């Protein structure tokens, strides 16, 4: 029975180590709602404010109606956009792959940090007309890069969005932000799970070997170091 418990403990510890994405940072605040937040309606515009750092204030607001899904940065916050070619100004929200570094230097190579515009405050995720749908995020399960202000400091984060290909709808899956001001965050990064895995494994091993020692013989250790002694002990039992 103890051996089965030990194997189960090792398997559970291994699961803790791989349950989250490979990109991990120890200073991340991570949020994942029990049910993804829907961005869909067949009527007129509806809004969903997103309190990114759970401080009671909205940092970003999503909007969706019968032909459009978009997002705006509230106050002095910013969203990472994919720039449209000249002479166009601005562009749609950039869908970022997992592992992309989101930080102060991310606005390069066709990307740019955009502040809220008074004339057109919402950035496009997907927009549909009779001729079809457009938007860089159309049909993507990807990350949106954000920059926001908290207590006078600049922080970076990501939001995982799932935007449908052929209709104006999608959902917010999860989001996270780096708690250290000014430090970049990797898209898809979550709090580091390895510490918990080591605590569980270390504590479990101590309990297991303490119980084995109380029987008078640690047969696993003997078997590994001296197989002849192991078999002699088994014959004497």
DSSP 26-78: TTEEEE--SSPEEE--SSS-EEEEE-TTSSSS-SEEEEE-SSEEEEEE-TT-E
pLDDT at 91: 86
Q: Do residues 63 and 138 touch, judged by C-beta distance below 8 A?
A: no
pLDDT of residue 117: 65
Q: How far apart are CA 171 and CA 79, in angstroms?
A: 17
The residue extents of the domains of the chain are 25-191
Euclidean distance between CA atoms 223 and 225, whole angstroms: 6
Query: Residues near 5 by Cβ (< 8 Å), separated by ≥ 6?
Result: 208
pLDDT of residue 213: 52
- State which residues of the chain have pLDDT below 50: 5-22, 195-200, 216-234
- What is the C-alpha end-to-end distance of the chain, expressed in Å? 18
Are 32 and 174 spatial neighbours (Cβ–Cβ below 8 Å)?
A: yes
Nearest to 6 by CA among 196, 210, 194: 210
CA dihedral (102, 110, 68, 146) in degrees, to 10, reads 20
Q: What is the full DSSP assignment across 209-233?
A: HHHHHHTT--HHHHHHH-HHHHHHH
pTM: 0.72
Q: How much is the pLDDT for 193? A: 66
Distance of alpha carbon 158 from alpha carbon 161, whole angstroms:
9
Q: Which tens digits make up the pLDDT trace of 1-49?
A: 555 544 444 444 444 444 344 455 679 999 999 999 999 999 999 999 9
pLDDT at 15: 42
Q: Residues near 151 by Cβ (< 8 Å), separated by ≥ 6?
A: none
Phi and psi (nearest 5°) for 228? -70, -45
CA distances from 174 to 157, 169, 234 (A): 11, 16, 55
Q: How far is CA 133 from CA 122, 136, 153, 166, 216, in A?
A: 17, 10, 37, 6, 73
Residue 7's pLDDT is what? 44
d(Cα 232, Cα 210) in Å, to the nearest integer? 23
Predicted pLDDT of residue 115: 73
pLDDT at 206: 52
């Amino acid at each position: 029975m103890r051996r089965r418990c030990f194997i189960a403990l090792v398997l559970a510890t291994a699961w803790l180590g791989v349950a989250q994405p490979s990109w991990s940072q120890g200073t991340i605040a991570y949020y994942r709602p029990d049910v993804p937040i829907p961005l869909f309606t067949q009527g007129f515009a509806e809004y969903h404010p997103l309190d990114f750092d759970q401080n009671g204030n909205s940092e970003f607001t999503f909007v969706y109606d019968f032909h459009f899904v978009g997002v705006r940065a509230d106050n002095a916050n910013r969203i990472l956009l994919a720039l449209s070619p000249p002479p166009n100004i601005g562009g749609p929200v950039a869908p970022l792959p997992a592992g992309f570094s989101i930080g102060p230097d991310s606005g390069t190579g066709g990307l740019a940090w955009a502040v809220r515009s008074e004339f057109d405050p919402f950035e496009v995720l997907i927009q549909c007309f009779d001729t079809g749908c457009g938007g860089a995020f159309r049909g993507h399960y990807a990350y949106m890069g954000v920059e926001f202000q908290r207590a006078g400091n600049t922080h970076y984060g990501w939001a995982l969005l799932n935007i449908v290909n052929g209709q104006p709808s999608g959902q917010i899956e999860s989001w996270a932000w780096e708690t250290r001001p000014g430090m970049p965050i990797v898209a898809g990064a979550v709090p580091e799970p390895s510490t918990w895995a080591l605590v569980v494994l270390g504590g479990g091993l101590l309990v297991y070997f303490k119980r084995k020692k109380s029987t008078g013989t640690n047969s696993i250790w003997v078997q590994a170091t001296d197989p002849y002694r192991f078999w002699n002990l088994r014959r004497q039992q």
